[in-house]
Amino acid sequence: MKVLLLQIFIILKFITMKKNLLSLITLLGAGVIANAQITINDTHIVGMNDAVEQSVDTMPGSITIGPSGANQTWNFTSMTEHYVDTLLFENHTAYPGASNFATANIGMRSSTEDSAWNFLNKNTSGLFIVGQSGYQQAQLVTLEYPGTIITFPSTMGTNYAGNWWGKIFQQYVGQGGIDSVKMTREAITSSNVDAWGNVTTSFGTFASIRQNVNDITIDTIWVYQGGSWSVIDPFTASLLGVDPITYDTTNTARWWTDDPNSKFPVLEMEFDNNGTVNRAMWQKSSPFVGVAEMNAKPMFSLYPNPAKDVINISTDKIANSIITIFDITGKEIKSMDFNTSNVTLKINDLDVGVYFYAVTNRTSGKVIQTNKFIVTK
């Protein structure tokens, strides 16, 4: 299939933004304070038909991940909820592009990503990334690359390192003297459980181990011309708005617990090389909500996305709710009542950027759904 050259490079630019396949955070229940370190295995990890509600702080300020070592106490009750996300773990075989991920045995999708699907493999030796599919420029893109989230059993001192290189995307072009384009990725990962103790968020205190992960990815764009592959030249890449080679480093700290009410990390933080946190995620609510219960709730869709002047939000049920719009910092921008199956909200006064909306039940005050949209001009 012949695809517009510019369209292909928009897709490639999209792929370079999809560094973190999985946002790993969990459900909390009643916490148990630890006097000794714990061990995490596959029985402590999320499974089919589970759902995870999480709060996200996009501007944690001066928070750091804290010290390493034995018998630590971490207190992160000062974090601010900017928006809420829900992760659904379910049968992956119905996901678009599922046939490309033969080793997957569980799927995950996020309430803030309505066109992206993640493929995972969970077994007694660990929880692993298989790949991701998603729509970009009305085309299904499948990203096939392996990764390790955590190995089992994990306790203080458990570590692993891995290096993978492979093709994650290729597309025939047939234009501008270019036969095809592809993207390759080299991924270098190291992980170490460097601490154990008790971690406290606004929802409780939990016995935990802390996993410290460093991910380095190197993405390279290649073109097939004259019978051979070569890295795209800088001039052509600049015209198309992409980089020939993209380097990215991500540091992540995850606090895992064996609490039976918590099946993923109690807390996850992305941080810089100095330990300063740039983003934090933790459990939003309990009790644990299954996929079936989530699907019974009114589901909301937003269109168009991206949008310029207005957005339309519709639901499969009449909603006695309030819609609130937030900017990327979590600041409330505007809100309106939602008492029908469809509302239209003017956004021509918003600056270009990413925004979030939350639908809140007027009676209970509970957030029913959140998602993001993009404003363009």
Please state the pTM of the whole predicted model. 0.73
The residue to which tokens 């493929």 are assigned: 119
Q: pLDDT confidence of 14, banded at 50, 70, 90?
A: low
Q: 261: which DSSP letter? A: T
Mean pLDDT over all residues of the chain?
A: 81
Q: What is the pLDDT of residue 327?
A: 80
Interval 292-321 mean pLDDT: 70
Which of 146 and 68 is assigned the larger pLDDT?
68
| Contact assessment for residue 88 and residue 294, using Cβ atoms and an 8 Å cutoff | yes
Burial-class residue 116 by CB neighbours within 10 Å (0-12, 13-18, 19+): buried
The four Cα atoms 94, 99, 102, 108 give a dihedral, to 10 degrees, of: -40
Which of 252 and 167 is assigned the larger pLDDT?
252
* 44-47 contacts, C-beta under 8 A, 24 or more apart: 44/256, 44/257, 44/258, 44/262, 44/263, 45/122, 45/127, 45/150, 45/263, 45/264, 46/89, 46/263, 46/264, 47/89, 47/106, 47/122, 47/263
**Domain layout of the chain by residue ranges:** 5-159+189-214+247-291, 297-375
Interval 180-201 mean pLDDT: 93
Q: pLDDT confidence of 354, banded at 50, 70, 90?
A: confident
Distance CA 115, CA 19 (A): 16
Architecture of the 297-375 domain = Sandwich (2.60)
Q: pLDDT confidence of 2, banded at 50, 70, 90?
A: very low
Q: What is the pLDDT of residue 22?
A: 44
H or E element at residue 373: strand 367-375
| Contact assessment for residue 42 and residue 122, using Cβ atoms and an 8 Å cutoff | yes
| Contact assessment for residue 249 and residue 270, using Cβ atoms and an 8 Å cutoff | no
Distance CA 339, CA 305 (A): 22
Q: What is the pLDDT of residue 196?
A: 97
Interval 99-125 mean pLDDT: 89
Number of other CB atoms surrounding residue 69 within 10 Å: 11
Interval 303-325 mean pLDDT: 79
